[in-house]
Amino acid sequence: MASEQRPSYTSLFETVRGVGNLLAPDDFTYYTELPIDTPESQLIVHLSCMAHYTPHIPLLAQKILQKIDLDCLILGGPENCCGELHKHFKDHDLERQTAKIVMNGFRQPKPRKVVSICPDCDEVFSAHGVGRMPYQHSNISDLFIEYLDRLKTHMKPVNMRLVAHFHTANDARQRDARNMMTIMNAVPGLQIIEAQHALGPGVHCQTLHPMPVPDQERMFAEARELGAHAIVVPYHSCYRQHCKMQLKYGITVHHMFNILAMSLSIPFSEPFKEMRLLDDVDAVVEALGSRIQRHGYDKKLIRAQISRAIFC
Amino acid sequence: MEASWVNVGSEDRFAEGMQTVAVGRQKIVVARLKGRLFAFDALCPHAQGPMERSETEGAIVSCPLHAWRFDLEDGGKELHGYRGLQVHDVKVTDGQVFLAIGS
């Protein structure tokens, strides 16, 4: 059997840059490198590569924090890759170098805490000694637990019946699942329905190891039977895999920050979902036409990138 | 400062692909790409990635760590607008490869 040809790092990172730029809301800004004179900052939100396909998630994190007068630096782009891609391709020396670069880069503004959007980043950083760094590192869900009491004072009811999708592959992911439930339980008006088929595989639902389709169908069919309006997910990657199911089941897929934003009266758009629900790569290319033109992207190349990033 | 030409070996030493040579304390990649010789700093100006392991597309080399992309035919210009890569002139005289260092 012929082995699958490995995509180049160039094509993977260029897809992150290209599609990330096309989907980024105008008010979403982040640093790829910190200027030398960056002032000290208590908090860094770290974006992994694929998290750029769902930029509303870090943007919402920032806006939610602003609601309680907390500021953060967002560091992202391929320049802040955690090394997971190199790990996947078994380039372990490159993985190690990449992880060390980004973990050391976080030190510059002397943060108290660094939080990552993606669980793969958590896993890679843990494996490369983030615990020895002079800052705390955790998944972003921890941060919202830390500030939940302050957030509660701003919350308004969200009247919605939800099924919660989650992962339990290890202690860290179980912690994230508990965090999401704690955050959701703090939102007044939400009704979280107990479901039997909402457990995702592995560390998270990701492109290379997605939730198997039969399991995904069971989760949505059950949610519909239970009268759920939505399925809430803890990770950007689960959101990416599942949001297309809205077309078949009429059940909305929300990242947990969407729900939090609704409760905090923070308006938001969901560019990834809007494009995915068009369900046709050419329709997406057309919808993004003016942005493609503004960035000067080659239409054939960006079509292939969109196909890889949005319809995988 | 005027460049000085440094002999880095016989031309047959540099087959298609990339290899790093030491010139004093400086490490330089000599690349033969589709028959043409290029030379550039061995460490990416972004995060010191190993340019010897670059991915190539014509005369564009991409660092394997984060895919900063440098056009060797345009003075090492980075294609996203980031810092460029130091490239060195190369000449072959009597079968020997010389790199311009210190330009």
Interface of A with B (CB under 8 A): 8-10, 12-14, 17, 33, 77-79, 81, 86, 91, 94, 97-98, 101
Per-residue pLDDT of A163-206, as tens digits, reads: 999 999 999 999 999 999 999 999 999 999 999 999 999 889 88
Q: Are residues A159 and A259 in the same domain?
A: yes
Q: Does some domain include residue A9? A: no
* pTM to 2 decimal places: 0.93
pLDDT for A4: 59
Residue of B44, B51, B60, B66 to mutate for A, most A C-beta atoms under 10 A: B66
How many domains is chain B partitioned into structurally? Answer: 1
Q: How many domains is chain A partitioned into structurally?
A: 2
Task: Report the percentage of chain A scoring pLDDT > 90.
Answer: 91
B80 touches A at CB < 8 Å = yes
Residue at A161 is within a domain: yes
Give the gap in angstroms from C-alpha A190 to the nearest C-alpha of chain B: 42
State how far residue A157 is from chain B, nearest Cα, in angstroms.
43
Q: Give the pLDDT confidence score for residue A1 in this predicted structure.
A: 42
Query: Quick one: average pLDDT of A224-238?
Result: 97
Out of A14, A33, A97, whose CB is closest to B67? A14
pLDDT of A2 higher than 90: no
A228 and A308, same domain (yes or no): no
Residues A192 and A290 in one domain: no
CATH, residue A184: 3.40.50
pLDDT number for residue A276: 98
CB contact under 8 A, A81 and B65: yes
State how far the Cα of A5 lies from the Cα of B43, in Å rounded to an integer.
27
CATH number at residue B58: 2.102.10.10
* A200 and A293 share one domain: no
Asked whether residue A25 is domain-assigned, the answer is no
Q: Which residue range(s) make up the domain with A310? A: 281-312
Question: Cβ of A101 and B47 within 8 Å?
Answer: yes
Please give the ipTM for the structure prediction: 0.93
- pLDDT tens digits for range B38-77: 999 999 999 999 999 999 999 999 999 999 999 999 999 9
Question: Which range marks the domain in which residue B60 is found?
Answer: 4-101
